[in-house]
Amino acid sequence: MSIKILATADLHLGKTSADASGYQASTKSTWAALVNMAIENGVDIVVLCGDIIDRNNRYFEAIGPLQSGIDRLRENNITVYLVSGNHDFDVLPQVVRRYCDDGVKLLGKNGVWEIVTFRKDDQTIQFAGWSFPTQYFRDSPLLSWQFNDIDLNFPVIGLLHGDIEGKDGKYAPFRLGELVRAPVNLWILGHIHKPFEYSGQKPLVWYTGSPQALSAKEPGLHGPLLFTITGDQFSVQHLGISSARYESLEVDVTGAEDEEQVREKIVTALEKDALQRQEELSNISFLIYQLEITGEHARIREVEHWSRSATDIRLPLNGDLEASVRKVDCYLRPALDDLKALAGQSSPAGILADTILAISEARNTPFLDKLIHKWRQQATALNEAGVYLPLSDEERLSNLKDDNAKIYLQRECNRLLGELISQDK
């Protein structure tokens, strides 16, 4: 006999996927679908690794749906193990308290490691968990665990919410080496929204990721992990459940002579990409793209203007699936016969061409260094400016390193060079 575990984290009940709307795009809908998935797959255990409720988004409104889902799992004899994260450190204990540990268990309350044992027929598994005692926790949770309460005769699954190799140190930072040294067969982790496996590691180490993609920063497949355990053998399957899918798509508009041809290239590229992903989109209602307009063109500013209207696209695909565009970035190059030859000139066009080449070739020039310095000054001033509304995370230029500066500068140099060349013709 096998034991099946459906694991997820970072649901953030109360939130809705960006650039999508309606109940279908809400995390409450995702939670209901996840409960159904657990029942339909006949799982034995559902694991929730923190930040199940979002502290900043309809905090109390989310409690009811969470309790309703847990009730359905219990009615189907599915055990629920939870650990709290930085968002729900205070509310999960309140939710779980009403169940008196009857098939529902919050592990590691008050930041103290806790072990529970699960038995099914002739199989035994131990779960070790730690929960956030406060919103911020600046030490590694592994420092307080002595492993004395583990029975080494049975497999151990560790449940933890925290920031691996965390840099700011506020969210239970720990290191991969600490996980590897612990007498644990499988780590199921929460906090990072992108699903990720530390491959080649023993023990197995998995961030489940958020089951619902919440923003363009969370591209690709999202959904719970289904672990099947037979004896000491572990297998895992990543199940898609998110109703929203975010992807980036490059559209080469070289050769497009007017606005109609640019639009045609964009729509054709969207349809082709969606068709190639068809097998991955069975649960998807919102396929949301960020476009990168690339290629060579003599009229860069005009193409940028033509491309902006792509954010109005609502492209119906199979069933209820709709493709849309949330953002368009242009990385066009001016149409030139010989950029290197132009870069050898001392004219303004030559200086721009040399700067573009320097960025592409990863070399510095005095002019480029001045541009980077000036860009960083202006980006810092923008972030710190007194405005009526605070900048969103997407609007803030949080990465002020040279590589990020060069992305912006290369785009602007290409645009200016294109205009200079057009004026000379």
23-43 pLDDT, tens per residue?
999 999 999 999 999 999 999
Predicted model pTM: 0.84
Give the chain's domain count. 3
Q: Give the chain's radius of gyration (CA, Å).
A: 26
Same domain, 97 and 15: yes
Name every residue whose Cβ is closer than 8 Å to that of residue 238 and which is 6 or more positions away in sequence. 195, 221, 223, 225, 226
Name every residue whose Cβ is closer than 8 Å to that of residue 139 and which is 6 or more positions away in sequence. 172, 173
pLDDT at 61: 78
Q: What is d(CA 21, CA 129) in angstroms, rounded to the nearest whole number?
A: 35
Over 70: is that where the pLDDT of 386 sits? no
- Tokens encoding 227: 């672990």
Give the mean pLDDT of 324-353: 87
Decide if 143 contacts 109 (C-beta within 8 A).
Answer: no
Give the mean pLDDT of 8-13: 96
Residue 398's pLDDT band, with cuts at 50, 70 and 90, is low
pLDDT at 166: 76
Same domain, 182 and 275: no
Same domain, 381 and 423: yes
Residue 390's pLDDT band, with cuts at 50, 70 and 90, is low
Give the mean pLDDT of 380-406: 65
What does the pLDDT look like over 243-302, one tens digit per residue?
A: 999 999 999 999 998 999 999 999 999 999 998 988 888 889 999 999 999 998 888 889
Residue 357's pLDDT band, with cuts at 50, 70 and 90, is confident
Give the CATH number, domain containing residue 227: 3.60.21.10
Which of 207, 238, 269 terminates a domain? The answer is 238
- Tokens encoding 114: 């806790």
Q: Does 55 or 367 have the greater pLDDT score?
A: 367
| Average pLDDT value over all residues in the chain | 90
Residue 397's pLDDT band, with cuts at 50, 70 and 90, is low
Residues forming a β-bridge with 207: 189, 196
Same domain, 378 and 420: yes
Which of 204, 238, 272 terminates a domain? The answer is 238
Lowest mean pLDDT among 57-61, 273-277, 323-327: 57-61
Same domain, 99 and 139: yes
Exposed, middle or buried by CB within 10 Å (0-12, 13-18, 19+), for 365? middle
Residue for token pair 């994260």: 85
pLDDT at 247: 96
Same domain, 131 and 59: yes
Same domain, 299 and 226: no
Lowest mean pLDDT among 126-130, 238-242, 391-395: 391-395
Name every residue whose Cβ is closer than 8 Å to that of residue 375 and which is 6 or more positions away in sequence. 405, 408, 409
pLDDT at 356: 87
Same domain, 225 and 251: no
Query: For residue 36, what are the CA distances in angstroms to 33, 138, 301, 349, 368?
Result: 5, 37, 50, 62, 56
Domain range for 329: 244-335
Same domain, 352 and 252: no
Q: What is d(CA 69, CA 129) in angstroms, rounded to the nearest whole number?
A: 21
Same domain, 84 and 152: yes
pLDDT at 186: 96
Decide if 287 contacts 314 (C-beta within 8 A).
Answer: no
Decide if 10 contacts 51 (C-beta within 8 A).
Answer: yes
Q: Does 71 or 168 have the greater pLDDT score?
A: 71
Decide if 38 contacts 75 (C-beta within 8 A).
Answer: no
What does the pLDDT look like over 112-128, one tens digit per residue?
A: 999 999 999 999 999 99
Which of 301, 335, 369 terminates a domain? The answer is 335
Same domain, 327 and 349: no
Same domain, 10 and 92: yes
